[in-house]
Amino acid sequence: MGEHKGSEPHGLHNGHYKAGAASNLLACCDTIFRSIPFATGFVPAQWRHLLNFAIEKKPGKIWVDLMRTIQMMNSELQANNKRVGKSAMAYAEKHKLIPSGQHGSRKRHQAIDLALTTKRLTWDLLHLQRRPTGWISSDAKSCFDRIVHWVAIISLMRFGIQWRTLRSMFDTLMKSKHRVRTGFGDSDRVFTPPTLIPFQGCGQGNGAGPPIWVAISSILLGMMISKGFGFDFLMSISWAPLLADCFCFVDDTDVCQAAPSPDQSGESIVPAVAKALQWWSNGVRLTGGAIRPDKSFWYLINFKWNSQLGVWQFRKKRDFKPSLLPTGMSEIAVELDDLDGTSVHLKWLEADESAKTLGILMSPCSNSKAQLVVMQGKAKAWAD
């Protein structure tokens, strides 16, 4: 940790521990103090303080519901949390517990790789095979703040972390006193969690937060695979079978559902796409999370032959006919429960309509105009 990184004021600062590492005696004492909570589940009193402050997600947007609340923790606690996260990921990678679709919080995995070398190539493969596909891009709401503790604990135990270690971490989160930091200073008053139902979530800024979500999402991805969602294909040279179902980077997830044959119509796979979305959104909800409909969307990828031009083209939304839907469906739509439990239709985009995903404007039909405009704007701003 850099010395400029802040920590909760109850206890020493990161700089103190970095300086103490030069002394064998102080380093030994520090090791003992950090190891006791790991081994026994004990929570030191000075750890039971959390400092909340809000930062802007986007510059200039200072509305409360558009900001992100960060929890500053005791520097000892934060170091232990990072150790838990690192150990969990090392164990999971060694025993191959993380599905290949999860790219977040993993070594040698970057968001740009998922966007360009996975999603883009998968879209190209579907184009070559002319397979009708439903593609859903979903975004979870305040992912780390909504995680249910018992779900996180069981998921991390699956990743090799002992119960006593997890008890120390989550007892701290459940029983700490919270204060608020503002531009006018830190609050003197504190608020504490209710006795019956303590606060949930692992907290934004928790060093173990991303690995916790990887542990949970790995189970959800396994659920989607076991239910048969996604599509399979053979490699062109080796003929090795591959399965693609979900593409995740932390809490940003793309769920795909393709027809087994190019002879099927786009209308015929709408029920399967809707079912895949329901399974994924319900799985996220059971962990305490929720999908944001306002930041989620879906594509229905299908092709038609243009005899005049002699080329295959993407079907437009107007080309799809509700009359061709399977029995029981009256409109081409997939539904999602809103944050308050109300069922809403997910936004349906044209195949050439670019949308922002993983920081890049992309579309199934390789429309790069929108991203080009963004890059030009950034270049001009940098030049100015």
The per-residue pLDDT for range 261-302, each reduced to its tens digit, is 888 999 999 999 999 999 999 999 999 988 988 889 999 999
Note the Cα 7 to chain centre separation in Å. 25
Q: In whole angstroms, how far apart are CA 226 and each of 111, 244, 286, 356?
A: 26, 12, 17, 29
Beta bridge partners of 345: 335
Confidence of residue 250 (pLDDT cuts 50, 70, 90): confident
Structure token pair of residue 11: 């206890």
Q: What share of the chain is helix, strand, coil (3-state, %, to 5)?
A: 40, 20, 40
Confidence of residue 235 (pLDDT cuts 50, 70, 90): confident
Boundaries of every domain in the chain: 14-94+144-207, 111-142+211-383
State the pLDDT at residue 236.
Answer: 81
- Residue 50: count of CB within 10 angstroms of its CB: 23
State the pLDDT at residue 330.
Answer: 82
Residue 37 has pLDDT above 80, yes or no: yes
State the pLDDT at residue 274.
Answer: 93
State the pLDDT at residue 186.
Answer: 93
Averaged confidence pLDDT in the chain = 90
Quick one: DSSP state of residue 100?
T
Strands (E), the chain: 49-56, 67-72, 133-139, 177-182, 185-186, 231-234, 241-244, 246-249, 252-258, 297-301, 303-306, 311-314, 335-337, 343-345, 347-349, 355-357, 360-362
CA quadruple 202, 208, 209, 214: dihedral positive or negative?
negative
State the pLDDT at residue 261.
Answer: 87
Comparing 189-198, 219-228, 295-304, the range with the smallest average pLDDT is 189-198
Quick one: DSSP state of residue 295?
G
State the pLDDT at residue 44.
Answer: 92
Confidence of residue 251 (pLDDT cuts 50, 70, 90): confident
The per-residue pLDDT for range 93-132, each reduced to its tens digit, is 999 999 988 998 888 888 888 888 788 888 988 888 999 9
Contact 212, 156 (CB under 8 A): yes
Q: Which amino acid is at 84?
A: V
Cα–Cα distance measured from residue 317 to residue 302, given in angstroms and rounded to the nearest whole number = 10
Task: Report, as an integer, the average pLDDT of 69-75.
Answer: 92
